[in-house]
A and B are shown apart, each in its own frame.
Chain A
C-alpha cells in the first residue's frame, strides 16, 4: 500500500440516479470506497410554493399542500387546514375531525408502503414494489371514492370537509384495514430475517440520538434513533388525544431500526383507524360559521343571506385576525408544520412550510461518514425523502 498514492476522488451521485427518489444530487468524497464527506445538493425541484401561496386567498391555497408532498397528500392538507383554523380560532365538527384522522392515517400507510417498495427496490428486492403499490392502490381507491381524485384531493376545507363520505365508505375502510396487517406480516417474513436485507441495513447510516436532536430530525428517523418525539403525542391536534396508540422506538438508529419503526407505525395507524371507525357518528362535516365556510347549496334558493355570504366568500375569501400561528402534524417523514402570518387581509402575508425531509436530509452527511459507497443508496432510502418536500 505504501508506494500507491492514496487520494480522495469526488463522485457525483444523481440527480438522475434511480435511487435518489426524485432529483437529489450527492457529492461524495471517497477514499477507495469509504466515504469521507458527503454533500447533498438540492433545489432541482424548487417550485416556489411559498411565494405562490402569498398571492392567493386562504381557500385557494388548499390545492398547494398536496402538491408539495405528493405521497402523503391528506396529511399535508390536514396540516395547512389546521394552521388556518388555529389562526381563526375555530374547531371543525366532531364528525369531520374523525374522518380527517381516518384519511390522514390511511395516507400515512400509503406513504410508508411507497417507502417500503422503493427502498426494497434500492437493494434489489424488485417484487416487493409491485405488492406495495398494489396495496397502495386500494387506499387510493378509497380516497377516490371520497374526493373524486386519486392523489391531489383538495378535500379538506377550512372548518371541515368538502362533503360527507359515501355510505359504504366505513365498511370499505374496515376491509382494507383488516387486510393490511396481514399483508405486512407477509412482507416482514420476506425482509426481517432475510440475510441480505439485514446485512445491507444493520449498522448502516447510524444516527445517534444526540445528533438527531441537534439536527432537528423528527419522525421515523428521530424515533429510530430513540428520540421519543411524536407530534401526535407531544402536541395533540385534531382530536388525537382521545386515541390509544403506541409510538415505536428504535435503539441503534440504523436503517434496520427505521424499517422496523415504520412497519410498526403502519400497524398502529390501522389501530387508530379502527378506533376512529367505531367513533364515527352522524352529524355535520362543515362548520356552521358563515364567515368561514360556504353555506349549503339548498339554502341558496331560499335565503338571500346565504347568497350574500356565498358571494362574499367566493369573491373575497376569509379575513382572519392579524397574527402568526404555527400548526404541526405528524407526517410520515416527521413534523410537518405550517407557519402562517396574517395581516387581516384575505391573503396570507407569509406561509412557511416546515419540511421534515429538509431537516432529515441535513443529517445525511453525519450518517454517511465512514460508510461505504454502496450504503449511500440504503441511507437515502432509509431517510424516506420526498424531494418535493425538501425543495418546496
Chain B
C-alpha cells in the first residue's frame, strides 16, 4: 500500500498543487484547468472506478467550493482522492463523464445540491429535488427548516440548537 501511494504521488508531481496525507489517505489538490488531465492520468494508472464524486461547501471561506473525486484501483487495491477548489462566484467544472461514465448522476447530484455547473455534461438537470425547486439545499447559507415540538406554555429548542456549535479546539 505505502509504496503504491508514493508511486501515485510521484506520477502526479507536475499536476498536483498540494499533497495532503491524513490517516493514511492521500489527497491531491488539483487546479480546475488540469482536472481533466489528472483524471485521465489516474485512469491510466489503474484507478478504474470512480467511487464517489461530491463537493464540500467551505462557506464563508474562499475559494468556496471543493469538489472531491474518490477513485479506486482494484488490482492492487488502492484509493486516491482528487480535490479541486472553486471560487464561489463562478462554480463551473469541466465534466468527467467522458473519462468515467458513472459520473453522470453524481454530477447531477452535485449540481442539484450545490449549484456547481459541469461544462459538457450531457444532461445537467436536478435529480433528487423537483425540477422547479429554487436554491441548492446543501449550501451552508441555505437554511435548515426545523419545527420545535409544540407544548403548551413552553417551546423547546429546535433539535439542532440543543447542543450549540463550539469553536475548534486547541488541544
Chain A residues near B (Cβ < 8 Å): 42-43, 46, 48, 50-52, 55-57, 60, 86-87, 89, 213-216, 227-229, 234-235, 315-317, 319, 322-326, 328, 335, 337, 339, 341, 343-347, 349-350, 352, 354, 358-359, 362, 391-392
Q: Residue B104 at the A interface, CB < 8 A?
A: yes
B102 and A346 contact, CB distance less than 8 A: no
For A86, list chain B residues within 8 Å (CB).
23
Within the assembled complex, what's the spacing in Å between the Cα atoms of A234 and B56?
Answer: 27
B74 and A339 contact, CB distance less than 8 A: no
A326 and B50 contact, CB distance less than 8 A: no
B48 and A339 contact, CB distance less than 8 A: no
A316 and B52 contact, CB distance less than 8 A: no
A362 and B104 contact, CB distance less than 8 A: yes
A323 and B102 contact, CB distance less than 8 A: no
Chain B residues near A (Cβ < 8 Å): 22-23, 25, 27, 48-52, 54, 56-58, 68, 70, 74-75, 77, 79, 81, 100-102, 104-106, 109, 113, 126-130, 137-138, 142, 144, 159-160, 163, 165-169
Within the assembled complex, what's the spacing in Å between the Cα atoms of A101 and B103?
Answer: 32
Q: Which 5 A-B residue pairs are closest in the complex by CB-CB distance?
A: A344-B168, A55-B160, A234-B77, A216-B102, A43-B128
Additional A-B contacts beyond A345-B166, A359-B105 (5; CB < 8 A): A51-B138, A86-B23, A228-B75, A343-B168, A346-B165
B168 and A362 contact, CB distance less than 8 A: no
For B56, list chain A residues within 8 Å (CB).
324, 341, 349-350
B101 and A51 contact, CB distance less than 8 A: no
A346 and B130 contact, CB distance less than 8 A: no
| Residue ID in chain B nearest A48 by CB atoms | B137
B159 and A56 contact, CB distance less than 8 A: yes
Within the assembled complex, what's the spacing in Å between the Cα atoms of A352 and B109?
Answer: 12
A214 and B100 contact, CB distance less than 8 A: yes
Partner of B23, one of A316, A323, A345: A323
B51 and A337 contact, CB distance less than 8 A: yes
For B102, list chain A residues within 8 Å (CB).
214-216, 359, 362
B22 and A323 contact, CB distance less than 8 A: yes
B22 to chain A, nearest CB (A): 4
Within the assembled complex, what's the spacing in Å between the Cα atoms of A239 and B43?
Answer: 30
Max chain A C-beta neighbours (<10 A), residue from B77, B79, B168: B168
A8 to chain B, nearest CB (A): 19
Partner of B163, one of A319, A324, A346: A346
A252 to chain B, nearest CB (A): 20
Partner of A324, one of B27, B74, B144: B27
Partner of B167, one of A43, A214, A345, A392: A345
Within the assembled complex, what's the spacing in Å between the Cα atoms of A391 and B129?
Answer: 10
A354 and B52 contact, CB distance less than 8 A: yes
A354 and B57 contact, CB distance less than 8 A: no
A235 and B77 contact, CB distance less than 8 A: yes
B1 to chain A, nearest CB (A): 9
| Residue ID in chain B nearest A354 by CB atoms | B52
For B166, list chain A residues within 8 Å (CB).
316-317, 319, 345-346
Given A42-B128, A229-B74, A213:B49 Cβ within 8 A:
yes
For B75, list chain A residues within 8 Å (CB).
228
B168 and A317 contact, CB distance less than 8 A: no
Within the assembled complex, what's the spacing in Å between the Cα atoms of A335 and B79?
Answer: 13
Within the assembled complex, what's the spacing in Å between the Cα atoms of A51 and B146?
Answer: 12
Within the assembled complex, what's the spacing in Å between the Cα atoms of A305 and B3?
Answer: 44
| Residue ID in chain B nearest A344 by CB atoms | B168
Within the assembled complex, what's the spacing in Å between the Cα atoms of A94 and B33?
Answer: 47
B112 to chain A, nearest CB (A): 9
Within the assembled complex, what's the spacing in Å between the Cα atoms of A344 and B167?
Answer: 8
B22 and A213 contact, CB distance less than 8 A: no
B25 and A315 contact, CB distance less than 8 A: no
B51 to chain A, nearest CB (A): 6
| Residue ID in chain B nearest A352 by CB atoms | B54
B143 to chain A, nearest CB (A): 10
For A216, list chain B residues within 8 Å (CB).
49-51, 100, 102
For B159, list chain A residues within 8 Å (CB).
55-56
Within the assembled complex, what's the spacing in Å between the Cα atoms of A97 and B104?
Answer: 37
Max chain A C-beta neighbours (<10 A), residue from B23, B50, B100, B130: B23
Q: List 16 A-B contacts (CB under 8 A).
A: A42-B128, A50-B138, A51-B138, A60-B163, A323-B22, A325-B22, A326-B79, A328-B51, A339-B68, A343-B168, A344-B169, A352-B54, A354-B51, A354-B52, A358-B106, A392-B128
| Residue ID in chain A nearest B167 by CB atoms | A345
For A56, list chain B residues within 8 Å (CB).
159-160, 163
For A362, list chain B residues within 8 Å (CB).
102, 104-105
Within the assembled complex, what's the spacing in Å between the Cα atoms of A371 and B146?
Answer: 45
Within the assembled complex, what's the spacing in Å between the Cα atoms of A57 and B164?
Answer: 9
Given A43-B127, A229-B74, A215:B101 Cβ within 8 A:
yes
Within the assembled complex, what's the spacing in Å between the Cα atoms of A362 and B107?
Answer: 12
For A227, list chain B residues within 8 Å (CB).
74
Within the assembled complex, what's the spacing in Å between the Cα atoms of A345 and B57?
Answer: 16
Within the assembled complex, what's the spacing in Å between the Cα atoms of A322 and B168?
Answer: 8
